[in-house]
Amino acid sequence: MSIEQVVGLYNYWIVVFLMMTGFYIVIARTNLIKSIIGLNIFQTSVFLLYITMGRINGGTAPIIPAVVADAHAHAHPADAHATDGPAGHSLHETADELIYSNPLPSVLMLTAIVVGIATTALALALIVRIREEYGTVEEDEILELDRYS
Amino acid sequence: MTTFPIIRVVTKLLIPYILLFAFYVQFHGDFGPGGGFQAGVILASGLILYGLVFGLPAVQSVAPPRTIERLMALGVLIYAGTGIATILLGGKFLDYSALEHNFYPHYFPSGQHLGIFLVEAGVGVTVTSVMTMIFYAFAGRNSVE
Amino acid sequence: MNLIAFAILALLAATAVTVARMRDLWAAIMFTGIYSFLSASWMLILDAPDVAFTEAAVGAGIATVLMLSTLALTGKEERATTRSPLIPLLVVTVTGGALIYGTLDMPHFGDPSDPIHLYPNPSFVEKSQEDMHGLPNVVTAILASYRGYDTLGETTVVLTAGIAVILILRRDESHPEQQESP
């Protein structure tokens, strides 16, 4: 295994490690709240997997500098072609020098995080109800109670 | 609810800035990092902080659960309504180019920019009210035994 | 900068392991908040400020509050398990080994010639400026406009989850507003 491979792949290894820690918590612990914590860790590792894929070395966040953006903002659609003179050219060159990291994974994960917290809240609500009905949040005790009911 | 004075005073000092920051993130989301999802969560965390320190009745008199319930649906309605509006203006569903107008376009957002503004507002309203409502649901529940 | 990233990753791994080993649920939830902050820091280094922002607000703020309020309703000690941790450990090691074997063929981190950066054509970032009349934040532009249908769906999912939580946790008889309403 070469150094190049380690530098190129360490992000995946970290993600796999975190993912497996979360997975371990989910399968090894019987406490339902602890399982939700494990799921959260698992979920965050998936976010990190996507975000690391969007990164470009030497890139910057996908937010266009104000100079470039303003040129487009004040170019009304009707006279967009008229402004494409010498000044427009130099602006395009500054824009070309910048490398933007990929915005697509950011978009996907942004919505996933908020949906994730909403579903986590749903799971926690179910746990509260389970506790009220069974008097415990330990998985094996709940199964035991179900068997003898 | 806590009676510890430092927490109460610091919370009162912090909350205006949290709310201000939430609105900044909401309305500046087109220009810098931010947008409806983040702003909604920050605004809700301001309300939740108030609820944690001053008690549930205090925060529920600021943001009554009945209003919050309606706001939950209103946000999605704003979002989908923007889509319907673009259809009525002759475009496709959520095709904001139909929102183009010539009423001082340099000062008022137009076209895509206006569409994104409306949609983010809808997202912000829904996320704020859902997060606040979830907190109400958990905090309003009495501990068993 | 690599040094900072390395420190954050080491802390991230250490926090995750601490959470797994911990019996006290209250402390474990606090460590989950720290874990969220650390992953938000790494996301910031990875040029995703929008996501870092959301993760810090959601993971360290709302999620911690919700879990603590659940804990107040259920009790905060985790019962010591009688089960042996050997089988879960074996499963996790085998799965992790398989996944790491799978990563050996993955495109390298930060390489501009990775498939994700070539398809779709990366010029869409610059082109979005013409479509959006100069909206600087490309993430917002994609979120609300190009992928508008998707975000509408996500917003509806958030609404649905909120309604479901109300339906599960609301008590009809002790609900104060029903007494107020005529």
Question: Is residue C71 one of the residues assigned to a domain?
Answer: yes
Residue C83: DSSP 8-state? S
If phi > 0 it is left, if psi is from -120 to 50 it is alpha, else beta; for residue A135 that is left
pLDDT score of C143: 87
Same-domain check for residues A23 and A33? yes
Asked if the C-beta of B79 comes within 8 angstroms of chain C's C-beta atoms, the answer is: yes
pLDDT tens for A67-81 read 777 776 665 544 444
- Separation CA C120–CA C138 (nearest Å): 15
* Shared-domain flag, residues A36 and A26: yes
With vertex at residue B92, the alpha carbon angle to CA B91 and CA B94, rounded to the nearest 5 degrees, is 105
Q: How many domains does chain B have?
A: 1
pLDDT at site C84: 80
pLDDT band at B1 (very low <50, low <70, confident <90, very high): low
Confidence (pLDDT) at C16: 94
The predicted pLDDT at position A89 comes to: 46
**A29 near C CB under 8 A:** yes
Q: Are residues A72 and A87 in the same domain?
A: yes
Percent of chain B with pLDDT over 70: 96
My answer on whether A55 and A70 are in the same domain is no
Split into its structural domains, chain A has a count of 2
Residues in chain C: 182
Distance CA C50, CA A61 (A): 9
State the average pLDDT over residues C28-43: 94
Lowest mean pLDDT among C3-12, C19-28, C73-82: C73-82
Rounded-to-integer distance, Cα C53 and Cα B34, Å: 7
Question: What's the pLDDT at A123?
Answer: 94
The pLDDT value recorded for residue B2 is 62
Q: Could you tell me which chain B residue has the CA closest to the CA of A135?
A: B144
Name the residue among B32, B123, B129 with its Cβ closest to that of C151: B123
The answer to whether the CB atoms of A110 and B137 lie below 8 A apart is no
pLDDT band at C73 (very low <50, low <70, confident <90, very high): confident
- DSSP E strand stretches across C14-62: none
Shared-domain flag, residues C74 and C2: yes
A95 touching chain C per CB within 8 A: yes
A24 pLDDT exceeds 80? yes
* Structural tokens at position C136: 């600087």
**H or E element: which one contains C139?**
helix C138-141
Do A21 and A44 sit in the same domain of this protein? yes
The number of folded domains in chain C is 2
**Cβ-contact A41, C16 below 8 angstroms:** yes
Are residues A114 and B105, on separate chains, in Cβ contact within 8 Å?
A: no
Structural domain that includes position A44: 3-62+101-147
Residues C73 and C131 in one domain: no
Q: pLDDT tens digits, residue range A129-141?
A: 999 888 888 888 8
Q: Whole-number mean pLDDT of chain C?
A: 85
Give the CA radius of gyration of chain B: 18
**Domain presence at residue B144:** no
Verify whether the Cβ–Cβ distance C109 to A110 is below 8 Å. Answer: no
Q: Which pLDDT belongs to residue A66?
A: 76
Is C62 found in the same domain as C5?
yes
Q: Which two tokens stand for residue C70?
A: 């659940």
Same domain, A57 and A111: yes
User: C51–A51: do the CB atoms touch at under 8 Å?
Assistant: yes
Whether the per-residue pLDDT at C149 is higher than 70: the answer is: yes
Looking at the domain assignment, is residue B39 inside a domain? yes
Q: How confident is the model at residue A83 (pLDDT cuts 50, 70, 90)?
A: very low
Does A90 lie in the same domain as A19?
Answer: no
Whether B137 and chain A come into contact, CB under 8 Å, resolves to yes
C127 and C72 co-located in one domain:
no
pLDDT at A81: 43
How far apart CA B106 and CA A32 sit, in angstroms, is 55
CATH of the domain at C41: 1.20.120.1200
Residue the block writes with tokens 């510890």: B4
A53 plus A118 within the same structural domain: yes
Domain contains C85: no
Mean pLDDT of the region B98-107: 76
When the pLDDT of each residue in chain A is averaged and rounded to a whole number, the result is 82
Asked whether residue A95 carries a pLDDT value surpassing 60, the answer given is no
State whether the Cα torsion A86-A90-A92-A93 is positive or negative: positive
Same domain, A88 and A132: no
Residue B46 lies in domain: 5-139
- Cβ within 8 Å, pair A47-C55: yes
Question: Is the pLDDT at B9 greater than 70, yes or no?
Answer: yes
Predicted local distance difference test score (pLDDT) of residue B24: 93
Is B133 a domain residue?
A: yes
- Whether B145 is covered by a domain: the verdict is no
Residue C107 forms part of a structural domain: no
Q: Express each pLDDT in B24-36 by its tens digit.
A: 999 888 888 888 8
Shared domain for A24 and A58, answered yes or no, is: yes
pLDDT mean over B50-79: 92
Whether residue B15 contacts residue B68, with contact meaning beta carbons closer than 8 Å, is answered with no
Rounded Cα distance between A103 and C142, Å, is 8
Report, as an integer, the average pLDDT of C80-92: 84
Distance, CA of C58 to CA of C45 (rounded, Å) = 19
What mean pLDDT comes out for the span C117-142? 80
What mean pLDDT comes out for the span A25-30?
A: 90
Domain that holds residue C6: 1-78
Q: Is residue B49 part of a domain?
A: yes
Verify that A56 and A12 share a domain, yes or no: yes
- A57 with A67, same domain? no
pLDDT at site B69: 92
Domain boundary among C78, C110, C130: C78
Q: Shortest Cα distance from B126 to chain C (angstroms)?
A: 7
pLDDT at B104: 74
Instruction: Find chain C residues with C-beta within 8 A of A125's C-beta.
Output: 164-165, 168-169
Q: Does C117 touch chain A (CB under 8 A)?
A: yes
Confidence at C178, pLDDT banded by 50, 70, 90: very low
Contact between chains at C134 and A30 (C-beta distance less than 8 A): no
- ipTM for the predicted complex: 0.89
Chain-chain contact of C49 with B44 (C-beta, under 8 angstroms): no
Instruction: Kindly tell me if the per-residue pLDDT of C114 is higher than 70.
Output: yes
Mutate to test the interface with C, among A15, A117, A129, A140 (most CBs of C within 10 A): A117
**Band (C1; pLDDT cuts 50, 70, 90):** low
Q: Is residue C19 scored above 50 in pLDDT?
A: yes
Going by pLDDT thresholds of 50, 70 and 90, the confidence category of residue A86 is: very low
- CB-CB under 8 Å, A13 with C129: no
Q: Could you tell me if residue C56 is inside a domain?
A: yes
